[in-house]
Amino acid sequence: MRYLTFALTKGRLAVQTMELLERLGISCEEMKDKHTRKLIFTNEQYGLRFFLAKGPDVPTYVEYGAADIGIVGKDTIMEENRNIYEVLDLGFGRCRMCVCGPEANRHYLQHNQLIRVATKYPRIARDYFYEKKNQTVELIKLNGSIELAPIVGLSEVIVDIVETGSTLRENGLTVLEEICPLSARVVVNPVSMKMDNARITQLIQAMRANLPDVRS
């Protein structure tokens, strides 16, 4: 039997992803070791392999079949736009994709003006402004600390993730429009889904039965 390979997202989603796997009886002790330089972890008992990757790389590994299954944020799935199946909402890593800026810039969104939009998510921003709002904008790609852009005058607004809202509050910014809710999702390679349907379906069902209670 061939190994089924999982690509997991490093960073914020990693702890809850490993907690979920452990509820399925899959030990993640080795993977949790912050000092390890090992990249791939094998579970002989279940015939599974795991590796951690940067979020935007997870859909790439899954599309090419280098991983059969991935766990990744909905934002990354939308932005990468890969040929993969999204099969399960895991309910954790909840946040929102929003248009944000100073309250004083709200009017730029109401009068269809040509504005500058800074973001780490140019595809999501383009789809939102061009397809949904019919507003032509200049997109400026940044790689982090997006909230800086409207403060220093690089852009009128930003498109970014809002979780608690603290970053916005501490910088005198606010949510101007909500684009969509986000959370961690399970994605599957379309060929793997056909070839290993029984095993993959069983794993998805086991994950669904062991989701964290995120209502509280």
**Are 146 and 78 in contact, with CB atoms under 8 Å apart?**
no
What are 86's strand-pairing partners? 187
Of 63 and 147, CB closest to ligand PRP: 147
Q: What is the 3-state secondary structure (H, E, C) of 166-180?
A: HHHHHCCCEEEEEEE
Burial of 167 (0-12, 13-18, 19+ CB in 10 A): middle
Q: Which of 142, 151, 152, 154 is nearest to 173 (CA)?
A: 151
Please count the residues of this chain forming the interface with ligand PRP, following the rule CB under 6 A. Answer: 12
CB of residue 58 to ligand PRP, shortest distance in Å:
16
59 binds, among ligand ATP, ligand PRP, none (CB under 5 to 8 A by kind): none
Taking CB under 6 A as the rule, which mask of x and - marks residues 134-163 in contact with ligand PRP?
----------xxxx------------xxxx
Between 103 and 163, name the residue whose CB sits nearer to ligand ATP.
163
Q: Which of 122, 165, 175, 204 binds ligand PRP (CB under 6 A)?
A: 165
Nearest to 96 by CA among 165, 157, 11, 187: 165
Give yes or no for residue 76 binding ligand ATP (CB under 6 A).
Answer: yes
Q: Is 57 in the site for ligand PRP (CB under 6 A)?
A: no
Q: For binding to ligand ATP (CB under 6 A), which residues are involved?
A: 9, 11-13, 55, 73, 75-76, 93, 95, 144, 161, 163, 182
